[in-house]
Amino acid sequence: MKNCEYHQIDPQTLSTPNPTPPPPPCAERTITRAKRKWEAFPGRNRFCCDGRIIFARQSGVLPLTLGLILVTSTLFFIFDCPFLVEHLTSCIPVIGGVLFVFVVISLLQTSFTDPGILPRAGLDEAADIERQIDNSGSSSYRPPPRTKEILIRQQVVKLKYCFTCKMFRPPRTSHCSLCDNCVERFDHHCPWVGNCVGKRNYRFFYSFIVSLSFLTAFIFGCVTTHLVMRSQGGNGVIFALQESPARYPFSHCQLELVVCFFSVWSILGLSGFHTYLVASNLTTNEDIKGSWSGKSGSEGSGNPYSYNNIFTNCCVVLCGPMPPSLIDRRGFLPPDDAVPAPPLAEIEQPPLEAKSDINMGPGHLSPAPL
Ligand SMILES: [Zn+2]
Ligand SMILES: [Zn+2]
């Protein structure tokens, strides 16, 4: 339909003196609007702002997360801060404001950043991989092996074939069934932030949960202090106690307390768990599966990605260089591509060493030393 509309307002056709022939059907048009790659993205993500922002399709819980943070913080700033500033210190709203801004920015960055999606293999690449798999040298049919093994720091790591993306997944990559993408260094799919958490947005996610822990604990502490001071007196609140309780309705305090009380423990626990993961250079996915602890049948010879140093692991995970997004979502599709090829075929492929080499030298995929 868009092509039809384009021809109807074509200035060349308007300026032609001869009667113009009726426009041909859309299928025969040669002039087409150049499509961007996000418009034909094969995964289940959504895009807005012409592909500048990406988020998962099932992001319905994200407004709830944002709403809880906004409502709780607003109640705190409106009802608790004036009292605490008057009777304690004026630093309280400043600290709360900084934490609040940090939490919201981290949340939005986690939600709207490409988590490290790998582009699917193009038709040629997929056919090439299939050929390599089938080329087993045996005349009798046998099911093609769908795993490959590579060595990482003298440790055998299995690469599984992704039937959706038509490629062997690089190490630490997993296919998110909700987003329908392979994601590098896949941690988990978080419905609260409405996105996968992976290689490119894990640092934002970690900042989010840690700052949210501080914000929740801070508000919880301030509201409790407010209630104690108002109910028990002391600390120069005699005048405040003489005021009408109706002027300071306590229902907002109760709401804040309930939200903070039930969230602070889970968020603190989550932050602690992810701090352990960061210090160990592990992902949630690996920890749950027990990839390096022997739970999954491996020898349990340890995490090959760990530097065996907590500080180095933290630096690598949180402060390492931000890898570029591999889905060139604002790039243009080939204009005369008759076959709707996978839109990301032109993009430089991720380090799929397994395509060419099955066994690699030790340390080939090892993290580079700092
Ligand atoms: Zn996949
Ligand atoms: Zn996902």
Ligand nearest to the CA of 58: 2
Query: Could you tell me the distance, in angstroms and rounded to a whole number, from the CA of residue 303 to the centre of ligand 1?
Result: 23
Q: Calculate what percentage of the chain has a pLDDT beyond 70.
A: 69
Query: Could you tell me the distance, in angstroms and rounded to a whole number, from the CA of residue 346 to the centre of ligand 1?
Result: 18
Question: Which pLDDT score is estimated for 20?
Answer: 45
Ligand nearest to the CA of 181: 1
Cβ of 217: how many Cβ atoms within 10 Å?
17
Query: Could you tell me the distance, in angstroms and rounded to a whole number, from the CA of residue 255 to the centre of ligand 1?
Result: 43
CB of 253 within 8 A of CB of 80?
yes
Ligand nearest to the CA of 175: 1
- Please give the model's pTM, rounded to 2 decimal places: 0.74
Q: Which residues contact 144 (CB under 8 A, 6 or more apart)?
A: 133, 134, 136
Query: Could you tell me the distance, in angstroms and rounded to a whole number, from the CA of residue 62 to the centre of ligand 2?
Result: 13
Query: Could you tell me the distance, in angstroms and rounded to a whole number, from the CA of residue 122 to the centre of ligand 2?
Result: 22
Question: CA 27, 28, 31, 34: dihedral to nearest 10 degrees?
Answer: 30
Across 11-25, 56-70, 177-191, the highest mean pLDDT is recorded for 177-191
- Residues having C-beta closer than 5 Å to ion ligand 1: 162, 164-165, 175, 182
Structure tokens at 201: 């947005």
Ligand nearest to the CA of 186: 2
Ligand nearest to the CA of 190: 2
Query: Could you tell me the distance, in angstroms and rounded to a whole number, from the CA of residue 104 to the centre of ligand 1?
Result: 30
pLDDT tens for each residue of 311-359: 999 998 999 888 888 887 777 777 655 444 444 444 444 443 333 333 3
Query: Could you tell me the distance, in angstroms and rounded to a whole number, from the CA of residue 317 to the centre of ligand 1?
Result: 23
Question: Which pLDDT score is estimated for 97?
Answer: 95
Question: Which pLDDT score is estimated for 197?
Answer: 94
245 burial (CB, 10 Å; 0-12 / 13-18 / 19+) is exposed
Query: Could you tell me the distance, in angstroms and rounded to a whole number, from the CA of residue 32 to the centre of ligand 1?
Result: 31
How far is Cα 330 from Cα 318, in angstroms, rounded to an integer?
Answer: 27
Question: Which pLDDT score is estimated for 138?
Answer: 53
Question: Which pLDDT score is estimated for 252?
Answer: 66
User: Alpha-carbon torsion 211, 217, 221, 226, what sign?
Assistant: positive
At residue 63, what is the residue type?
Answer: P
Ligand nearest to the CA of 191: 2
Report the half-sphere exposure of 203 (CA within 13 A, side-chain side). Answer: 14
Nearest to 37 by CA among 337, 338, 342: 342
Query: Could you tell me the distance, in angstroms and rounded to a whole number, from the CA of residue 173 to the centre of ligand 2?
Result: 12
Question: Known catalytic residues?
Answer: 190
Nearest to 268 by CA among 194, 217, 197: 217
Chain Cα centroid distance, residue 62: 12
Q: Which residues contact 44 (CB under 8 A, 6 or more apart)?
A: 56, 57, 178, 179, 180, 181
pLDDT tens for each residue of 102-155: 999 999 999 999 999 998 877 777 788 777 776 655 555 555 567 777 888 878
Query: Could you tell me the distance, in angstroms and rounded to a whole number, from the CA of residue 179 to the centre of ligand 2?
Result: 4
pLDDT tens for each residue of 5-33: 434 444 444 444 444 445 545 444 555 66
User: Alpha-carbon torsion 79, 85, 88, 94, what sign?
Assistant: positive
Query: Could you tell me the distance, in angstroms and rounded to a whole number, from the CA of residue 164 to the centre of ligand 1?
Result: 5
